[in-house]
Structures are given as structure tokens and as C-alpha cells.
Structure 1
Amino acid sequence: MKQKIAIKVHMNCDKCRSKAMQLVASADGVSSIELQGEDQLVVVGDGVDPVYLTTILRKKVGRANITKVEEVKKSGEKEKEKPNVELLPWCPNQYYTTSQWYPNYSSCSQVVTAYDSGSYSDTSSCSIM
């Protein structure tokens, strides 16, 4: 996959610019390098690691930050149109009843039943509750 990487590099002089260009050109997969403005390097290549480029530039030249990484598309290649599909939320209780999820729900011995007064009774023999 061919990608276009924009890296902002702090370059003071022409010597720093040429050194940065040489470092980036020596990386694997780089097909073209371009200077945009005074401190922006634009690298185009196939399988180029932007993190590797910035670490090399930080060690040898100075401050470097990745500005943008994007995929380069061919001029004849069009983006495939995706069909417009509306996804509906899925609810598990929509198709299944409680008795299907818990077949022994009604015969469970530890069912807590609530009364209108707000108190409850527990049919289990648990001493904590």
C-alpha cells in the first residue's frame, strides 16, 4: 500500500535539510521526497514506517513530528460505493422469552419475591441476607 507521510522537522540551515533528505532517502520503500515550506518533509513510498523515519530524524537532525499519514490512491482508481444500510439495534429479548434463556427460572429455589410494601422475603437459607 502506497502512502504519503508528512513530517515536520526542525531544520535551521541547508546542511540540515540535505542531511534530513539523505536520511529519509536511505530508508526502505521510499519512492519520492519533497520539501514543503521550510520545515515540512513529504515522503511517498510503499511500506514506509513513519515512526522509524521520525526516530531517525530526531536522532540525527532535531525535533521531528508526524503531521499526516494518508493512503495514495491511483488516479484511475475510484472509491467503491458502499450501499446505504441502516443498522438496527439488536435486543436479545426481542426473539427469546425468559423461559427460553432460563428454563428452570420458575422452579429456582433462590428467587427473591418482592411485595408492595417494599420488603422482600428470601426463600433461600442464606444467613448473610
Structure 2
Amino acid sequence: MTTKKIEIKVDIDCEKCKHAIMEAVTELEGVNIVSLDQEKSILTVVGTMDPVCVAEQLKKINKKPVVISVGPPKKPDPKPDPKKDPCFIPYCYYTPRDMVSVNTYESGSGCTIV
């Protein structure tokens, strides 16, 4: 089955209602992500579940769901490839053996490079 995003308008009166809605929907098979916008009263469910099953589950807890939309989930924004970035500067890692130590003799002549 394909993954889909379902938006449902449902009354959210209190924290108890919010908890009941979240618990009822997460029990369904195929649910991957559940989010609830309490200000807009919109439940968003992403997964392979059937939208009708989500609505029926909400009716079981005495909610009146109104399906707003069913469609594919939003694809995540692609991360920019740092190698294609013109401002990309690779990091240089130095180990102790890469260091150069210059020691001068007491007389001031000559040096040793380790």
C-alpha cells in the first residue's frame, strides 16, 4: 500500500479529548505519524491506513470527523550536497605526526626538523 496523508477536522475540547483522539488513532495498523493542531482542530495522520478506518475509529470515541483531504505526504526537503556548494571548504585534520617542530641549537646555528 502507498503512504498517504489524511487531514481530518475534529472537535478538540480539552486535553482529555486530545489524549483520547491520539490513543484511538495510534491503535490503527499502518499509522506512522499522528499530529494534532488543537487551535485549528485538525488531526493529521500519515501512513498506509485506510482513511475510512481512521474516521470510524474517531466515531467510536463519539467524535464527528470531517475528512478535509487525502493525498500523498509532503516529501522532505532535499539536503544540499556540500560538495556542490561553491562556498564549501573541506575541513583539514592534523595529526601530531603532521606537525613540524623546529629546534635551534644553543649557539643559534642550525635546526632540527622532526
Q: TM-score, normalised by structure 1?
A: 0.53
How far apart are the structure 1 equivalents of 2:11 and 2:74?
29
- One-letter code aligned to 1:44: V
Cα pair 2:12 2:38 within 8 Å, conserved:
no
Alignment match, 1:69? 70
How far apart are the structure 2 equivalents of 1:73 and 1:12?
28
> Computing the radius of gyration over CA atoms, which structure comes out larger, 1 or 2?
1
Q: 1:76 to 1:8 in 2, by over 3 A?
A: closer
Alignment match, 2:49? 48
Q: 1:73 to 1:12 in 2, by over 3 A?
A: closer
Listed as ranges, the gaps of 5+ residues in structure 2 are: 79-114
Q: Deviations over 1:94-120 (max 9, x none)?
A: xxxxxxxxxxxxxxxxxxxxxxxxxxx
Alignment match, 1:93? none
Q: 1:12 to 1:30 in 2, by over 3 A?
A: same
Q: Which aligned pairs between 1:114-125 and structure 2 lie closer than 5 A?
A: none
Alignment match, 1:3? 4
Cα pair 1:16 1:61 within 8 Å, conserved:
no
Q: 1:37 to 1:15 in 2, by over 3 A?
A: closer
Q: TM-score, normalised by structure 2?
A: 0.60
Aligned residues: 76
Q: Structure 1 segments of 4 or more deviating over 3 A? A: 73-77
How far apart are the structure 1 equivalents of 2:26 and 2:37?
16
Alignment match, 2:93? none
Alignment match, 2:35? 34
